Amino acid sequence: MIDYIRENLSYYPIYYRFLFKTSKTFTPVNVSYGSDKDQYFLYYEPAEPISDKIVVWVHGGGWNAGNPKFFDYVGQRMAGYGYRFVSIGYRLSPKNRYPVQIEDVCACFNKAMEYLRGKGIDTSRVIISGPSAGAHLSSILCYSRKVHEQYGVDVSNVIGYVGFGGPYSFRDGQGMTISLLENMLFAKGYDRREAEPCRLMDKSDIPMLLIQSRHDGLLKFKCAEDYAARALEVGNMCEIYEVEDRRNTHSWYTAGCFLFDRSESKTLDRYLRFIEEA
């Protein structure tokens, strides 16, 4: 309960005290992949790329909120560190029920790779990542062979996955907030096992880093442990990083960490080290 209260109290300092102070150095390219206003991605080209790795980001927001433009500060931060960065958008619930979201994420990933190759950019080394609802969707994108076949997506160029605070298992007792969000995401009668990352994970060569806090306030740490256990079962490489920062509630560590320099955030530093070592 204490962490839930801390989570609710964190929104003001994150999105008002810090968010609007972030600088906008880079102007991203907006590329549509469908007719809906949320079917687009933003591409950030750094002034001087430090690596041939491309970072793909699937935003969070409880599946019912958020878009790449709102999370512009994440792209600004990553481009500032010298990485080519793609921020994926998708249609939101409750107007659009699952599996629309994963359909869009797959279509957007394909479009983004096509776009980058058209610019002469090597797309052979991609890191996929996402926070919260974005961790849910991006993990399915990486590890579900069924989804790959259904939506015609090839992730053989993905060399790493990072999830921040993801609902990888739909376990009981997660709390009212998660229950309400899931009820908005899924139509009545939909078999939620068809959207549960733990059940959808197949054997893969993509190593994963799960960034999770024991003081999340919304999700239980056990979600990451469930996913790690499934990874071990199928033979996938997985590490759980337990958030050490003082700002360790859900919003702070899943996306708020990008409001700070890596020297100020152990969470962001761990994320960047994973990318550097991949």
Residue 40 · residue 32 · CB < 8 Å: yes
pLDDT given at position 3: 46
Residue 197 · residue 166 · CB < 8 Å: yes
Q: What is the mean pLDDT of the chain?
A: 93
| Structure token pair of residue 254 | 């899943």
DSSP state for residue 42 in the 8-state scheme: E
Pick the closest to residue 43 from 93, 92, 91, 114 (CA basis).
Answer: 114
Q: What is the pLDDT of residues 122-147, one digit of tens each?
A: 999 999 999 999 999 999 999 999 99
CATH of the domain at 70: 3.40.50.1820
CA angle, 62 then 67 then 70, to 5°: 110
Question: Does the structure show a pLDDT above 60 at 9?
Answer: no
Question: Does the structure show a pLDDT above 80 at 4?
Answer: no
The total number of structural domains in the chain stands at 1
Question: Does the structure show a pLDDT above 80 at 210?
Answer: yes
The sheet with strand 126-131 has its strands ordered as 29-32, 40-44, 84-88, 54-58, 126-131, 158-164, 208-212, 238-242
Question: Does the structure show a pLDDT above 80 at 13?
Answer: no
Strand locations in the chain, DSSP E?
29-32, 40-44, 54-58, 84-88, 126-131, 158-164, 208-212, 238-242
Q: Find the domain containing 267 and state its range.
A: 2-277
CA distance 204 to 195: 18
pLDDT given at position 223: 94
CA distance 47 to 268: 21
Question: Does the structure show a pLDDT above 80 at 18?
Answer: no
The pLDDT of 194-215, averaged and rounded, is: 97
pLDDT given at position 61: 94
The pLDDT of 179-200, averaged and rounded, is: 96
Strands 158-164 and 126-131, sheet pairing: parallel
CA distance 58 to 161: 11
Q: What is the 3-state secondary structure (H, E, C) of 125-183?
A: CEEEEEECHHHHHHHHHHHCHHHHHHHCCCCCCEEEEEEECCCCCCCCCCCHHHHHHHH
CA distance 42 to 75: 8
Q: What is the pLDDT of residues 63-84, one digit of tens each?
A: 999 999 999 999 999 999 999 9
